[in-house]
Chains A and B, each alone.
Chain A
Amino acid sequence: MSRSERAPLVTDAIPPALRRRGITQRQVFVTCLVVALLVALFASRDTPGWAERLGDTGLDHRLRDIAGAWDETMETLGLTAPHDRLRDAMQRALDWQWGADSR
Chain B
Amino acid sequence: MLFPTLDFLLFFLVVAVAMALLDRHFRAKKAMLVGASYFFYAQWDWRFCFLLAASTTISYVAGLLIGQSHDPGKRRLILATGVALHLLILGIFKYLDFLVLSANQFAHLLGLQHELPFVEILLPVGISFFTFHGISYITDVYRGDVAVCRAPLDMALYMSFFPQLVAGPIVRAAYFLPQLARPSHDPIPIAAALLLIVGGMVKKVIIANYLATGLVDPVFAAPDNYGGSDLLLAIYAYAVQIYCDFSAYTDIAIAVAALCGFRFPRNFNQPYRALRLREFWQRWHISLSTWLRDYLYKPLGGNRHGRLNTYRNLMITMLLGGIWHGAAWKFVMWGALHGGGLAVERMCQPWLGQHPASPVGRIVSWLIVFHFVCFAWIFFRAEDFTVAAVFIARLGVGWGEPLQQAQPAMVGLIVIGMAGQFLPPGSFERAGLALQRVPYWGLGAATGLILAAINALGPEGIAPFIYFRF
Q: What residues of chain A have their CB less than 8 Å away from a CB belonging to chain B?
A: 1, 3, 6-15, 17-39, 41-43, 45-47, 49-50, 82-84, 86-87, 90, 93-94, 96-98
Contacts and interface: CB of A to CB of B under 8 A. Distances in A.
A58 B261 CA distance: 38
How many B residues touch the partner, as a band?
Answer: 35 or more
Contacts of A12: 263-266
Given A34-B448, A35-B444, A38-B448, A25 B187 contact: no
B415 to A, nearest CB: 13
A3 B144 contact: yes
A30 B193 CA distance: 15
Contacts of B188: 22-25, 27-28
A59 to B, nearest CB: 14
Nearest to A85: B456
Contacts of B429: 15, 17-18
A58 B16 CA distance: 28
A24 B23 contact: yes
A38 B294 contact: no
B199 to A, nearest CB: 12
Given A13-B266, A22-B186, A31 B441 contact: yes
Given A21-B187, A98-B403, A35 B453 contact: no
21 contacts: A3-B145, A10-B265, A13-B250, A14-B254, A15-B192, A17-B429, A17-B432, A18-B433, A22-B188, A22-B190, A28-B20, A29-B19, A31-B444, A32-B259, A35-B9, A38-B447, A43-B456, A46-B6, A84-B456, A93-B409, A98-B403
B24 to A, nearest CB: 9
Contacts of A34: 441, 444-445, 448
B266 A19 contact: no
Contact of A98 (B259, B407, B428): B407
Q: Which of A20, A22, A38 has the most CB of B within 10 A?
A: A22
Interface string B435-470: 010001101110111011101110011000000000
